[in-house]
Amino acid sequence: MFLKISRIEYKTWCIRLIPVGFFFICYYCSQLCLQSKLQPSTKFLCDNIIAQKKWERLNFNISRKTELFLKLKDFFWKEHQSALSLPYGIKGSELLLLKILANYKIGNYRLPTVIESLDCRTCVVIGNGFAIKNSSLGTTINKYDIVIRMNDAPVRGYEQDVGNKTTIRLFYPESASSYPAIHNDPDTLMVLVPFKQQDLRWLKEILYNEKRVRAGFWKPPPQIWLGRTSQLRILDPYFLHLTASKLLEMPLEPKKKQKCVHPTTGILAVFLALNYCDLVHVAGFGYPPSQNPKQPIHYYGSETMKSMKDSYHDLNHEAQALKRLEELGAILSLHQHS
């Protein structure tokens, strides 16, 4: 009698557990579906992008060049001699760069082996624009192989929207943070984008603990930089050159009495990703209409469009370039933007 009751109870419990099991199966499937929608950078999609070779349609002379950073031996190779000065070449800055790159503290010149060896590199470039605020893209962003950020954009406190993974951070002295460890991973590559000789001089002074020269900057750069020098890199000006001349089709040397205009680090980061990655997605790009000077421009801080009035960038032109890249399928924005 006891065995019969146990079997009946066992069957009853099994029947009761069927809805519970069905619920968990449905929940798991819905999460997989949601994840696939939020994170389209699957191996299949990556293979599809590679097969189509969409970057070849861009006519930007993209070479899939994997050596992004300057290295010491560049200065002993005739083919790397530059006819342009900063920010588009190294003419006149050779001795500064030689001393910087000869510093024993500077690390190697490549990305980590785990990234270099990937058959398909997925990248997401995170702009600093207000558009990413309240996007809840943080979890999605963290899943890419390479996460590229710019300047001193914070991560801590904004993880839900921008994630907390950083593979590469592009910066220049005026946009540097004195304490990079606060908003970066320990292994984040801190990549200096030199726009002028003073930028290289600043880095040399930091590396050799020399007297700081404050002249020549539009904003005082940090006098103390407590980042890991082994993670420092210097971006090859080749990429800024092509960003300006090919992507933006802008004159490298403005005419007399004409305002000097350079690409932003954001559009540079996108072009960099197109050269190095097989799949390029973006988030946080798109400035609000400039007619509203009080509109915030970043997902952090209190700067407004008014602060961009006298900038050395053509934001409308860059927005059009990004739109063309999206229309060609070369990049994909993870959220709606203006």
Three-state SS for 233?
Answer: strand
Most confident option among 17-31, 149-163, 271-285: 149-163
pLDDT tens digits, 213-259: 989 998 999 999 999 999 999 999 989 999 999 899 888 776 666 66
Distance CA 139, CA 223 (A): 35
Q: Compute the average pLDDT of residues 131-156.
A: 96
Residue 2's pLDDT band (cuts 50, 70, 90)? very low
SS3 content of the chain, % helix, strand, coil (to 5): 45, 10, 45
Evaluate if residue 17 carries a pLDDT over 60: no
CATH 3.40.50.300 fits 42-333, yes or no: no
pLDDT value of residue 260: 72
Residue/partner pairs of 71-77 with CB below 8 Å, 24 or more apart: 71/101, 71/109, 72/98, 72/101, 72/102, 75/101
Average pLDDT, rounded, for the chain: 81
pLDDT value of residue 278: 87
User: pTM (2 decimals)?
Assistant: 0.82
CB 158 within 8 A of CB 137: no
Q: In this structure, what token pair is assigned to residue 241? A: 């050159």
pLDDT tens digits, 77-117: 545 567 899 999 999 998 899 899 988 677 677 888 888 88
Evaluate if residue 291 carries a pLDDT over 70: no
Q: Compute the average pLDDT of residues 272-296.
A: 82
Pick the residue with more confidence: 286 or 265?
265
Residue 135 Cα to chain centre, angstroms: 18
Residue at 175: amino acid letter:
S
Lowest mean pLDDT across 135-149, 185-199, 304-318: 304-318
Residue at 266: amino acid letter:
G
- Where along the chain do its domains lie? 1-38, 42-333
Largest CA distance in the chain: 104
Q: In this structure, what token pair is assigned to residue 41? A: 């950078």
Distance CA 75, CA 171 (A): 23
